[in-house]
A and B are shown apart, each in its own frame.
Chain A
Amino acid sequence: MLSTLSLRRRWGIKMIENKRSHYIQKILTHIVFITVSLCCVVPILFVISAAFTDDLVLAQEGYKLIPGKFSLEAFVYIFKSPKQILNSYGVTITTTVVGTVISLLLTSMLAYVMARKDFKASRLISFMVFFTMLFNGGMVPSYIMITRYYGLKNTIWAMILPYVIVPWHVFLMKGFFSDLPITLVEAAKIDGGSEIGIFFRIVAPISKPAFATVGLFCAFTYWNDWWLSMLYIEDAKLTSLQYYLYRIMNNIQFLSTSLTAGNITIDRSQIPSETARMALCVLAAGPMLIIFPFFQKYFVKGLTVGAIKG
């Protein structure tokens, strides 16, 4: 009796001690994550604040978290001659919308077939898609194919077609379809449905989360892409947002080093200002950042489930 009493007392004390250290641990953990979260987000603020800063003040005081002197002059400057930025927006929106639609359609159809275990070729197809993730010919063969044999150089299709089928997206979609019971298909067949009909009229409507998730990834791939533009686009009219951002980036470097090296005073009002470039950056990256929190749960589910299941 005595022994059990002291046992309980010891256990009770241990519980209280645990609660206190547990509390401290939790606070420390929160501190860690608050710090990390700030590290993730704060650097972006430098760009955003610079976009809203008076250009002269930026030159004097440098990049800060809060504008030294709030000003919309950078955006005004851009919108005075908005031709290039509007053009780039048009290009990016077009490639994203068209690309996502085509990509979703073809990816889902392919993934569906891969998920149909009763189909004899599904394993072969799955392997063929998987193999591309292990081995490819490299940058050069693709480049030669697309420019010389497919004739896509300097066309808008060069920015769309290469990403229509992305193996990772296909597997992500397949993961979703694999969860559907085969009985669904069998029942529909008994009712006299064709395979194509079953896919579009039964499977697709109930797979809306799958389409939303993969669709978001496709859209994200297209919107943020600069790679295809760098390889295949030379026409100024076909410049995507990201590629445009990259092209004007080098001018800042040139500006900056020539100023520090030569100690030359240049009339800043004549040069397209640094704040204008930062404003362009905000305009280019803004949409994705604003949309992201709303669709966050789809992104999270896709990225994590896709990696674990795939």
Chain B
Amino acid sequence: MTNKRIVKLSKINWGLVILALPGMIFLIAFYYIPLFGIVIPFKQIDYSKGILGSDWVGLKNFKFFFGSQDAWRITRNTLGLNFIFITLTMILSVIMALLLFELGRSAVKIYQTALFVPYFISWVVASYILYAMISPEMGAVTNMMKSMGKIPENLYYKPEVWPVILTLAYLWKNVGYMTLLFYTALIGIDSSYFEAAAIDGAGKIQLMLKISIPYIKPVIIMMTLLQIGKIFYSDFGMFYFLTRNSGGLYATTDVIDTYVFRALRVTGDIGMSSAVGLFQSFVGLILVLTSNLIVKKSNPDHAIF
């Protein structure tokens, strides 16, 4: 019998344990205990029997969801829009960060304030802003179209235009933050690199391509990885509030998150909403682990773990 693994009670740093305890209690209560809810999709929940007592139904809930027409629509919307969001945001913010890097500090401070503002506006408030712009009677954009002679349509009933609206809204909210993130990374570059290259006759574009971008490549990769892990998730607020949850727009704006929310809160369909939720988490985990592995193979330093 070895005593190696037995931890002496007197050797435990009780002070630190006490400090960590309250936080851990909350962590466990709100993040780990719900993990037991993984069984929910596999059961037919009957509250009178409790979660543990309810009957097992295997993959019935999953089959029900994947067999439905909705599954394809919401998955397509979620993945398709996310793909557009991630790509455009990355490209635009890296370019803008590089440009911002060329400017002086006082100018940067001013732009920084403006760029950050959308990030702090909630989607509820943003929905008011959008309404002010595309309201069928009085919107600013609607008025502009009227003055140009076009007949204004109620955009809240035109699903086709919403991928564009949503993309613009997403970029409006997030590009500022991402730009500043990359900008902060760029500041970290040792200026002697630039000086040395400039003396060798490098032009601005070359400086960007050969020094700046490679330097922030780890940050770009990390941000991309994080977003890939969330590719089955959406910013619920944006999709729910901007569209005013208008059923006519579901064809292009209904995503997994809004679907699950309605299933849970409106229909009360616990089985299916929990099945889809688990599907999201599970696939997200696989994606993060896989893409992390891929990145690790090419360059171990760039991976998250």
CA distance A267 to B149 in the complex (A): 29
B14-47: CB near A (< 8 Å → 1, else 0) gives 1111111011101101111111111010000001
**Cβ contact within 8 Å between B40 and A113:** no
Give the chain A neighbours of B167 by CB distance below 8 A: none
Of the residues B16, B36, B219, contact of A137 by C-beta under 8 Å: B36
**Cβ contact within 8 Å between A195 and B13:** yes
Given the known A-B contacts A113-B19, A119-B16, A196-B18, are A140 and B277 also in contact in the complex, defined by CB atoms under 8 Å?
Answer: yes
Of the residues B102, B114, B280, contact of A29 by C-beta under 8 Å: B102
**Cβ contact within 8 Å between A136 and B16:** no
CB distance from A174 to the nearest CB of B (A): 11
Give the chain B neighbours of A256 by CB distance below 8 A: 135-137
**Cβ contact within 8 Å between A62 and B19:** no
A86 at the interface (CB under 8 A from B): no
Give the chain A neighbours of B288 by CB distance below 8 A: 134
The majority secondary structure among interface residues of chain A is: helix
**Cβ contact within 8 Å between B114 and A300:** no
**Interface segment, B70-78, B81-89, B179-187, B293-301?**
B179-187
**Cβ contact within 8 Å between B274 and A138:** yes
A-B contact count (CB 8 A): 288
| A–B Cβ pairs within 8 angstroms, 24 of them | A40-B114, A40-B115, A46-B132, A63-B139, A65-B140, A105-B22, A128-B24, A132-B27, A134-B229, A137-B34, A137-B277, A144-B40, A161-B30, A199-B19, A256-B137, A259-B137, A277-B128, A278-B132, A281-B125, A289-B117, A300-B112, A304-B180, A304-B185, A307-B181
Give the chain A neighbours of B31 by CB distance below 8 A: 132, 136, 165, 167
Give the chain B neighbours of A61 by CB distance below 8 A: 138, 143
CA distance A22 to B177 in the complex (A): 27
**Cβ contact within 8 Å between A140 and B102:** no
A89 at the interface (CB under 8 A from B): no
A211 at the interface (CB under 8 A from B): no
Give the chain A neighbours of B131 by CB distance below 8 A: 249, 252-253
CA distance A245 to B121 in the complex (A): 13
- In this complex, how many residues of chain A approach chain B with their Cβ under 8 Å: the count is 100
Of the residues A29, A139, A140, contact of B103 by C-beta under 8 Å: A29
Interface residues in A191-220 (C-beta closer than 8 Å to B): 194-196, 198-199, 220
CA distance A109 to B36 in the complex (A): 27
Give the chain A neighbours of B241 by CB distance below 8 A: 246, 249
Among all A-B residue pairs, the 3 with the closest Cβ atoms:
A141-B37, A195-B15, A138-B277
**Cβ contact within 8 Å between B277 and A139:** yes
**Cβ contact within 8 Å between A107 and B285:** no
CB distance from A303 to the nearest CB of B (A): 6
Of the residues A59, A198, A230, A307, contact of B138 by C-beta under 8 Å: A59
Extra inter-chain contacts (5) besides given A38-B114, A150-B29, CB under 8 Å? A63-B139, A119-B16, A135-B285, A245-B125, A249-B128
Give the chain B neighbours of A196 by CB distance below 8 A: 15, 18-19
**Cβ contact within 8 Å between B120 and A220:** yes
B281 at the interface (CB under 8 A from A): yes
Give the chain A neighbours of B17 by CB distance below 8 A: 121
B127 at the interface (CB under 8 A from A): yes
Of the residues B30, B177, B219, contact of A142 by C-beta under 8 Å: B30
Of the residues B20, B35, B103, B265, contact of A33 by C-beta under 8 Å: B103
CA distance A195 to B288 in the complex (A): 37
**Cβ contact within 8 Å between A162 and B20:** no
B237 at the interface (CB under 8 A from A): yes
CA distance A89 to B17 in the complex (A): 38
Give the chain A neighbours of B246 by CB distance below 8 A: 253
A260 at the interface (CB under 8 A from B): yes
Give the chain B neighbours of A285 by CB distance below 8 A: 121-122, 125
**Cβ contact within 8 Å between B26 and A164:** yes
Which single residue of chain A is at the shortest CB-CB distance from B134?
A63
Give the chain B neighbours of A37 by CB distance below 8 A: 110-111, 114-115
**Cβ contact within 8 Å between B99 and A116:** no
B124 at the interface (CB under 8 A from A): yes
Given the known A-B contacts A62-B137, A107-B23, A281-B125, are A140 and B270 also in contact in the complex, defined by CB atoms under 8 Å?
Answer: yes
Of the residues A141, A144, A231, A253, contact of B156 by C-beta under 8 Å: A253
Give the chain A neighbours of B172 by CB distance below 8 A: 39-40, 43
Given the known A-B contacts A113-B16, A140-B40, are A63 and B135 also in contact in the complex, defined by CB atoms under 8 Å?
Answer: yes
Given the known A-B contacts A139-B261, A246-B124, are A109 and B278 also in contact in the complex, defined by CB atoms under 8 Å?
Answer: no
